[in-house]
Structure 1
């Protein structure tokens, strides 16, 4: 293993394990997601060898993953060209016991969901901090909602009526004004009370019905598995059927 420590080591373990188990030689069309764990996904794919990767096409979910693909010397594709993916691997802001996810902290959740839905297998990779029983436990910022700019005021009003009293327009940290997605839209962060997150698919349906909403950062009943790197060097693997397995540190060192 590498000399990484702490959170980065946990992310690397999760990413490497997921790639080893789900990016197989027969997989030729591969979606690459966004977030701080994804560089380790690309790192492990590159390690599978130039000969194998020459026969593959990689689709990005946003600017970050596009840069990772190009800089790694991998073949870049687009969903317009390849609508059926073998596998998509992506990060998440939080994952619950049923593999429902909150995504969109990086404002890429529209493209992330398109690639997740287009894939035969959708896999989540993250560190242990993202592993929760119920959404909203560690991710307090709320549900990211991508919206058309001209509708954001009315959408804020409607989201607050729905129970997200502190819904806010996401503002840029290094720019004046709101965050603008790769698609030219705004993002609203809509927190809900903890009991609402027990049924995230209901929140998803309610928000999607609002006029002006482009996409919602709730990914419900989509992931086949989620890989969480732990502090002790192990990886916890949650599967869609509710089962959980663990790959211990010694398994990596053997």
Structure 2
């Protein structure tokens, strides 16, 4: 979504469409205001442009809207304001890379079928997590390349989620390997641990590895598997409800701001 307002002001979303804030930017990209849809409040950074800002935002406003100077910015606010759009992971959809491969790739019929199956399970899990992010307590990122299919941040902590295709078969998860039906075992538990370990180092906070199994007829988990959590779309809400709270709302927001910056995960080489 993008619209041109008075004198070339642009209205751009922060995060996935329909969520987060709408920023009003000058043609050079500098923000002059933002509209917080959850709080129904416009924070104006350039008061001399107030009427222009209201004109640009009018199509998106609902109900009685408060208008005024922004609250004292947090460190997270300052980081978010300075984040270039190309570095922002928040707009990523579940299975973003798979969507690109299906749209522009040259894979054969069988490979494309496998890609579509994998995309479907990531989208199924993504829908469940996005529903959580509709509340003020949770934030979710999708498709962090080389790290996680989904990263969930909320009061119970940070969860690095790897999706697994159940293929309507029995799924057996052990300490080191995962088996779907009669196929060869795969090292998904170890991959989940590695990804969560990387996220723990990068975010400087404990991150829990999670395997999200979609479309399994039966799920068997080794009793010795305690460090990697397992869930399904149907058990996600119960799993999170039963996990003790460890983060306060400002912590959630600060971690989300750091995590949504692509450079957090893939820093530029020195001198680049």
* TM-score of the two chains, using structure 1 as the length reference: 0.29
TM-score, normalised with respect to structure 2: 0.27
Q: Which has the higher contact order (CA 8 A, sep 6+)?
A: 1
Which has the greater radius of gyration? 2
